[in-house]
Amino acid sequence: MKAAAVIPAYNESRHIAEVVGAVRPYVDIVIVVDDGSTDDTGALAQVQGATVIRHRSNCGAGAATMTGLSAARRMGFSIAITIDADGQHDPKDIPRMLELLRADKADLVMGDRFAKRNEIPLIRRIFNAIGNLLTFIVTGLYFSDSQCGFKSFGPKALSQVELRMHGFEFCTEIVREAAKYRWRVINIPIKVMYSAYTMAKGQSFSSGVRTAMKILLRSFLR
């Protein structure tokens, strides 16, 4: 089963080349979705051998993720791995994800930053706890790290996933898809590396509140 890595990226020229280079040894193709960047993100990814899909404008992390998953699906890949472009995730965790999917032990493998002794800032722990609670409210499923962007979709999940939420709330939507289609989900411990740069790229308090409101509103409109 061939695997594609999907990397949504917005103005990530600082790290994208390094991330693509680190991911390439573990997958058959790296798909970078340049989400309306105003810097050299797309060009630098292409130089490193990535297939680059460009959004004309910034559409959001969820939209960029769905663009990449749809591309992997069209290209005939059986597995797709989503990983952040800012370098916070360790590609060395990819083989374990692939092993579980290829052994048909799961349909979706979710990275869990809290299952290892990672140094996670307090604000990230708070945001994640709120995200976990909201995800449980709207899906009935509880995961200790529902908001992690490092995930792997097996053949069933990749063929069925359809994300409609464009922002960071897409992580909760993935769990809702898992509940809807009864995917087998496994969480695995992953390494995460936070820096001032990755903290600045993440959600602020205000954007976190907006994300929470979108999740709740969308749950009532379904």
- Encode pLDDT of 45-61 as tens digits: 999 999 999 999 999 99
In the chain, the domains with their CATH numbers are: 3-221 (3.90.550.10)
Bridge partners of residue 161, in order along the sequence: none
Q: How far apart are CA 153 and CA 112, in angstroms?
A: 15
State the CB neighbour count (10 A cutoff) for residue 89: 26
User: What stretch of H or E contains 44?
Assistant: helix 41-47
Give me the pLDDT at residue 190, please: 95
- The backbone torsions φ and ψ at residue 174, rounded to the nearest 5 degrees and listed phi first, read -60, -40
C-alpha distances in Å from residue 80, one per residue of 16, 64, 128, 182, 216: 18, 14, 24, 18, 28
Give the model's pLDDT for residue 217.
57
Instruction: Give pLDDT, residue 157.
Output: 98
> Which residues in the chain show pLDDT less than 50?
204-206, 208, 220-221
Structure confidence at residue 196 (pLDDT)? 60
pTM for this entry? 0.86
pLDDT for position 212? 53
Which stretches does DSSP call E strand in the chain?
A: 3-9, 29-35, 51-55, 79-82, 108-112, 151-153, 185-189
